[in-house]
Amino acid sequence: MLSKSAVAVSFFIMSLYGNLFMEAEGIGVNWGSQASHPLPPATVVRLLQDNGIKKVKLFEADSQILRALSRSGIQVMVGIPNDLLAPIAGSVAVAERWVSQNVSAHVSSNGVDIRYVAVGNEPFLKAFNGTFESITLPALQNIQSALIKAGLANQVKVTVPLNADVYESASNLPSDGDFRAEIRDLMISIVKFLSDNQAPFTINIYPFISLYNDPHFPVEFAFFDGTGSPVNDNGRIYDNVLDANYDTLVWSLQKNGFGNMSIIVGEVGWPTDGDKNANMQYARRYNQGFMNRQKAGRGTPMRPGAMDAYLFSLIDEDAKSIQPGNFERHWGIFYIDGQPKYQLSLGNSNGLVPAKGVRHMAKKWCVLAPSANLQDPQLGPSVSYACDHADCTSLGYGSSCGNLDLAKNVSYAFNSYYQVSDQLDSACKFPGLSVITTSDPSVGSCKFKIMISSGGEASGRMPSRRSVAVLLLLSVCLYIVL
């Protein structure tokens, strides 16, 4: 029989390692793939393992990514994009085929630990104007039927990742929370279906978006330092917006008879660029604050205990749509080459472990030629073309490269296009305007990036999407010069 001292030592060791295990085990990450030069899936899986990340959320069923996750020890939530909701809602056979190809095949043959199927992604956003309201529940029901037929319903649960705008509070107090009036009946039907099938409610909560949308939003209330003005809701004290938002959902569920429903926070994080409030300091402060809460097992006044949550996101996506804002391409805790952006402890070490075996292209950049004339009429169209086909979101107001002069703005645009084009000589031939250099043109925190090597594989290409903020900035600069 163990002595009291031995038991005490054992308990201390178990508690110490239990906290570390809980934190690494409890946190997941979102792995998006909208990048011009995505890292090989095997490299990303190694990155996840090296950082002790045990759960990953995918936005679509990419077969290469799923194969790379085979026998990795990583739990998977695999997503169904919104554009597939209609065919799946309209046909059980389509749902069965999707489950067979994207779940059953990987679970049985490849040993992928799929735990959830995410049906759609924030389908009830107000910006969608009701497009997916009539088809999300039928799609959810058909996927559940397909999982039952495949014999996977006990192992794989369905869910619908929803934006926090599906509920509201007239007083801004969590206890007054309820589902948004125009979709309340639909939400209750979905929640009942999830509850009947022992499936979780998945919610995405973004304090950054609150700050982005409302210039009067109290900045300190977005973080976890307790420095903001607290909100007293009938004795429940809220010192940050995440807790208040989460408990608004808890009250919404409770008022409608589902007070014990499990909740997953599908996306939570902070971007590092593309807006005046998107920077390294705020991102580290927010994400480390969240992780510290997880490690301490702190929940909300209504739901004590660490949250089941997925950080958004793992790696930057330089080809993502910027319709919501330029910050959309900068949510990663890693750059697109798998290098950590800042020190962040996930519980298994003092900081993030970088991706291994990543090769970069040659140290050369495409910049504005010294002989170029800033009043050249081709300058504006050339910059517009470059930014239409590359990522210029760091040039916007308040961003990491927002203080560059006109010449450096142009150089940044040219180089972005040159790098995304795999440093082809033809990608730096803006007539009379551009030249290739081996001298790094980076200025302070504004880094002129070098693209990662595609390693012989066909690299991606940027979609043609124009950043209005960037073009407006450049237009103003050109106007001043002219």
What is the average pLDDT across 182-200? 98
Q: Which of 55, 47, 45 is nearest to 24 (CA)?
A: 55
- How far apart, in whole angstroms, are the C-alpha atoms of residue 4 and residue 19? 22
Q: Does 10 or 131 have the greater pLDDT score?
A: 131
Interval 276-325: pLDDT, tens: 999 999 999 999 999 999 999 999 999 999 999 999 999 999 999 999 99
Q: So what's the pLDDT on residue 379? A: 98
Q: Which of 273, 297, 292 is nearest to 283 (CA)?
A: 273
Question: pLDDT grade, residue 349 (50/70/90)?
Answer: low
- Is 122 considered catalytic here? yes
Interval 398-415: pLDDT, tens: 999 999 999 999 999 999
What is the average pLDDT across 114-124? 98
- Can the peptide bond before residue 313 be classed as cis, meaning omega within 30 degrees of 0? yes
Interval 135-188: pLDDT, tens: 999 999 999 999 999 999 999 999 999 999 999 999 999 999 999 999 999 999
Interval 13-41: pLDDT, tens: 333 333 333 333 579 999 999 999 999 99
Are β-strands 231-233 and 236-238 bridged in parallel, bridged antiparallel, or unpaired? antiparallel
**Structure tokens given for 164:** 């926090």
Q: Percentage of the chain surpassing pLDDT 70?
A: 88
Q: So what's the pLDDT on residue 350? A: 77
The answer for residues whose C-beta is within 8 angstroms of residue 115's C-beta and 6 or more apart is: 55, 75, 76, 77, 155, 156, 157
Residue 454: is its pLDDT beyond 80? Answer: no
Cα Rg for the chain, rounded, in angstroms?
Answer: 24
Q: So what's the pLDDT on residue 18? A: 38
Give the SS3 label for residue 262.
coil
Residue 460: is its pLDDT beyond 90? Answer: no
Name the catalytic one among 96, 122, 317, 328: 122
Q: So what's the pLDDT on residue 429? A: 97
Q: So what's the pLDDT on residue 355? A: 98
Q: So what's the pLDDT on residue 3? A: 42
- How far apart, in whole angstroms, are the C-alpha atoms of residue 188 and residue 196? 12
Q: Which helix (H) or strand (E) holds 80?
A: strand 75-80
- Is 317 considered catalytic here? no
Q: Is 133 left (phi over 0), alpha (psi -120 to 50) or beta?
A: alpha
Averaged confidence pLDDT in the chain: 91
Q: So what's the pLDDT on residue 148? A: 98
Q: So what's the pLDDT on residue 348? A: 65
Q: So what's the pLDDT on residue 343? A: 94
- How far apart, in whole angstroms, are the C-alpha atoms of residue 177 and residue 234? 14
The answer for residues whose C-beta is within 8 angstroms of residue 285's C-beta and 6 or more apart is: 223, 225, 270
Name the catalytic one among 96, 267, 317, 328: 267
310 DSSP β-pair partners: 28
What is the average pLDDT across 38-55? 97
Going edge to edge, which strands form the sheet with 201-204?
Answer: 157-159, 113-119, 75-80, 55-58, 27-31, 308-311, 263-268, 201-204, 161-163
